[in-house]
A and B are shown apart, each in its own frame.
Chain A
């Protein structure tokens, strides 16, 4: 079994210590850090993400794998930076103002990170200005808003208006989701993207970032 396949498999089994060692071995062997990331870590997360989507594994299994991925990424990060590799995209994520539901949002973060995206999680009860401020500060690609209440989903419109009000609407893609949110609601408030669940949110965000960065 190649080292990269082994990294991927150990990651899928959530073996953080093993993943860390294997990533170090791969670096020591002179493997390109970009290849370790893509064919080792992201490959492993991709497999587990697919299994989750198909209801073959539960969230705790995905979380263990995500922790193993983080362990490997910690070792890899300085080498990626040296090689000039950037995250494939940056997402500002939060639950909108007045809303404290965050279990779904946390799953979205986990799945996005598994796609190699950098996620800045602002937590819950996030006012529109804070979304914008973080997006500007981190030069983000996407602002992603989660809401679970019919009385707070309207806050998404305020986020969009705040971003537009500051003349920044073209700079960021805005993504919305959460149990009461629908495709038509997304359109009605002028958001760019809606995803019904964490896996599709991560897929869509990764695709959007790819597209955006390709120009």
Chain B
């Protein structure tokens, strides 16, 4: 593991707006340099994406980004990131993704110049390797177009490159619905880590060659899926909380391979990455209710450097186009954060954001700054990624158990038995990758997971 100590080792230092290693874009937008900025993402309304509909799609992107940035300027937003999270067809057929990136970049350039604002584009192609089952992570026929979109999108002017990569997900999906922590640790701490190394060497090379910034990679398909399932009461919340902890070493790999941030919004593990690698992070919470329900609406804001809506459909609301409405909500959230920084009350506000969420859900509890530092410390002390994954899960469980014991966390009695079950399963995992692979080999369905695609 590259990081052996914490960039932020005191929980008071883990706060919104400031990161030990801020990142500055070409237009001079500094993320993590003392201010918080909004990050806005929007997606299409109900429609197909194909050659016939493409001209209309282009118009939707063009008009929406113009409307969003115009409103941002009216609200005196000084800096903003517009995330272009592509829809699958736009990565499968990179020409779409590239041209739409150009549309967004052009608007950012034009309106930044007009309004004296610093607007930048984050490009997030899809991990299309998942299109094939079982996925061939290293030899996928989809890899070339995916990397082409990164490259040409960077050439077209995207400032930050990100992805929600899916290495290990083919095993994780099943582990999740079975609440199988051994499967989760194997998927994230072995397969995910190995795939992240492979993928991020490509992405950071593209970013360096094109002179843009490699942002980061979230475990959205893992821990956010867990969160959504827990929110529907399909799996215990405590399982979703430890799943998040298990994703930390996996997502950290992007920074070990040269990414610089800002980390992407849909990975609440971002706070741990900020503590460990010092990178600025984007986070989403209550203002992403347009995209999904969440039990961490306030606490997720406590250490953000960009504050995001995750995704909103470009439909019309009473207040205007939904992306503009969403931008407005973000802008007011961010004003409040920045005002607290200006008046030196940010720590007070941060603690209110944290305190208001953590008694309600173990997923919120582990995102509290004290918990983050404690878990992050266990991660950097571990020596290798598998041990770090086990340490993160073990420490998260300890924090949850202590809080239940001290009555600081309200937990459904149905959940309590799961804490014991997770602990028992966890204890059987060897702290050695070879032994763990051997242990899991018999359980892995070769029709669903190709271990050789992970170099195993």
Q: Using a CB–CB distance below 8 Å, which chain A residues touch chain B?
A: 55-56, 58-60, 63, 98, 100, 102-103, 106-107, 123-125, 149-151, 153-155, 180, 185
**Cβ contact within 8 Å between A100 and B179:** no
A200 to chain B, nearest CB (A): 14
Whether the pair A63, B178 counts as a contact (CB closer than 8 A) is yes
For this complex, 28 residue pairs linking A to B, each with C-beta atoms less than 8 Å apart, are: A56-B414, A58-B179, A59-B177, A59-B179, A59-B229, A60-B177, A60-B178, A60-B180, A60-B235, A63-B178, A98-B89, A100-B130, A102-B173, A103-B173, A107-B234, A124-B133, A150-B43, A150-B44, A150-B45, A150-B47, A151-B44, A151-B46, A151-B49, A151-B87, A151-B88, A151-B89, A154-B47, A185-B46
Any chain A CB within 8 A of the CB of B313? yes
11 A-B pairs besides A63-B178, A102-B173, A180-B46 with CB distance below 8 A are A59-B177, A59-B229, A59-B235, A63-B177, A98-B89, A103-B173, A125-B131, A149-B87, A151-B44, A151-B88, A155-B48
CA distance A36 to B133 in the complex (A): 37
Q: Are A150 and B173 in contact (CB under 8 A)?
A: no
1/0 per position for B106-138, CB-CB distance to A under 8 A?
Answer: 000000000000000000000000110100000
Nearest A residue (CB) for B44: A151
- Using known A-B contacts A59-B177, A124-B133, determine if residue A154 contacts B46 with beta carbons closer than 8 Å: yes
User: Per-position contact with A for B228-264: 1 when CB-CB < 8 Å, else 0?
Assistant: 0100011110000000000000000000000000000
B-to-A contact residues, CB < 8 Å: 43-49, 87-89, 130-131, 133, 173, 176-180, 225, 229, 233-236, 313, 414
**CB closest chain-A residue, reference B45:** A150
The answer to whether A59 and B44 have CB atoms under 8 Å apart is no
When distances are taken between beta carbons in the complex, the residues of chain B under 8 Å from A149 are 87-88
Q: Name which residue of chain A comes closest to B418, CB basis.
A: A58
Complex-state Cα separation, A180 to B131, whole angstroms: 21
- For the complex formed, measure the closest distance between the CB of A197 and the CB atoms of chain B, giving whole angstroms: 8
A153 CB contacts on chain B under 8 angstroms = 46
Which residue of B has the minimal Cβ distance to A98? Answer: B88
Nearest to A63 among chain B residues (CB) is B178
A60 partner residues in chain B, CB cutoff 8 A: 177-180, 235
Are B48 and A151 in contact, CB atoms less than 8 angstroms apart?
yes
Question: In the complex, A159→B328 CA distance in Å?
Answer: 39
Q: For residue B176, which residue of chain A has the nearest CB? A: A103
B235→A151 contact, CB < 8 A: no
Flag if A59 contacts B130 (CB, 8 Å). no
B225 near A103: Cβ-Cβ < 8 Å: yes
- Given A59-B234, A100-B130, verify A106-B48 contact (CB < 8 Å): no
A102 to chain B, nearest CB (A): 8
A153 to chain B minimum Cβ distance, whole angstroms, is: 6
Contacts of B234 in A (CB 8 A): 58-59, 107
Determine the residue in chain A with the shortest Cβ distance to B315.
A150
CA distance A102 to B45 in the complex (A): 21
> Roughly how many angstroms separate A180 CA and B179 CA in the complex, as a whole number?
26
Instruction: Choose from A55, A124, A125, A185 the contact partner of B233 (Cβ within 8 Å).
Output: A55
The docked-state distance in angstroms from the alpha carbon of A19 to that of B178 is 20
Q: Which residues of B contact A155 (CB under 8 A)?
A: 48
- A-chain residues with CB within 8 Å of residue B130 when the two chains form the complex: 100
B178 to chain A, nearest CB (A): 5
Write out the residue numbers on chain B whose beta carbons fall within 8 Å of the beta carbon of A124: 133
Q: Which residue of B lies closest to A57 (CB)?
A: B414
List the A side residues contacting B229 at CB < 8 Å.
Answer: 59, 103
- Distance in Å from the Cβ of A5 to the closest Cβ of chain B? 25
Q: Complex: how many Å from CA A149 to CA B179?
A: 26
Query: How far does the Cβ of A176 sit from chain B's closest Cβ, in whole Å?
Result: 13
CB contacts (< 8 Å) of A58 on chain B: these are 179, 233-236, 414
Q: Determine the distance from Cα of A37 to Cα of B379 in the docked complex, in whole angstroms.
A: 51
Q: What CA separation (Å) do A103 and B43 show in the bound complex?
A: 22
B186–chain A nearest beta-carbon distance, Å? 17
Give min CB distance, A54 to chain B, whole Å: 10
- Chain A residues lying within 8 Å of B43, measured Cβ to Cβ, are 150
Q: Which residues of B contact A154 (CB under 8 A)?
A: 46-48
Residue of B nearest to A185 (CB): B46
Q: Top 4 A-B pairs ranked by shortest CB distance?
A: A60-B179, A59-B234, A150-B46, A55-B233
- Smallest CB gap from B233: residue in A: A55
Q: Note all chain A residues with C-beta closer than 8 A to B49.
A: 151
Chain B residue nearest in CB terms to A67: B178
Q: Is the CB of A123 within 8 A of B133?
A: yes
CA–CA, A106 and B173, complex, Å:
10
Least distance between B317 CB and chain A CB atoms (Å): 16
- Contact, CB under 8 Å: B313 / A150: yes
Question: Which of A98, A106, A151, A180 contacts B177, CB < 8 Å?
Answer: A106
Instruction: Tell whether A103 pairs with B44 under 8 Å between CB atoms, given A60-B235, A151-B49, A151-B87.
Output: no
Complex CA gap A186/B190 in Å reads: 42
A150 to B44 alpha-carbon distance, docked (Å): 7
Question: Which one of A55, A56, A98 has the highest number of Cβ atoms from chain B below 10 Å of its Cβ?
Answer: A98
Report B41 CB to chain A, min CB distance, Å: 14
Q: In the complex the two chains form, what is the Cα distance from A115 to B43 in whole Å?
A: 37
> Which residues in A have their C-beta under 8 angstroms from that of B88?
98, 100, 149, 151
Nearest CB on B from A53, distance (A): 11
Residue of B nearest to A56 (CB): B414
Please give the distance in Å from B428's CB to the nearest CB on chain A.
Answer: 17
B411 → chain A, closest Cβ, in Å?
14
Across-interface contacts of B236 in A (CB, < 8 A): 58
A151: chain B residues at CB < 8 Å are 44, 46-49, 87-89
Min CB gap B93→A, angstroms: 12
**A56 contact set on B, CB distance < 8 A:** 414
In the bound complex, how far is the Cα of B173 from the Cα of A103, in angstroms? Answer: 7
Inter-chain CA distance A98–B44, complex, in Å, is 15
| In the complex, residue of chain A having the shortest beta-carbon distance to the beta carbon of B126 | A100
Write out the residue numbers on chain A whose beta carbons fall within 8 Å of the beta carbon of B233. 55, 58
Q: Which residues of chain A have C-beta atoms less than 8 A from B44's C-beta?
A: 150-151
Q: Chain A: which residue is nearest B169 at the CB level?
A: A100
Query: Which residues on B sit within 8 Å (CB–CB) of A125?
Result: 131
Nearest chain B residue, comparing its CB with the CB of A158: B48
In the bound assembly, the distance between CA atoms of A60 and B173 in angstroms comes to 12
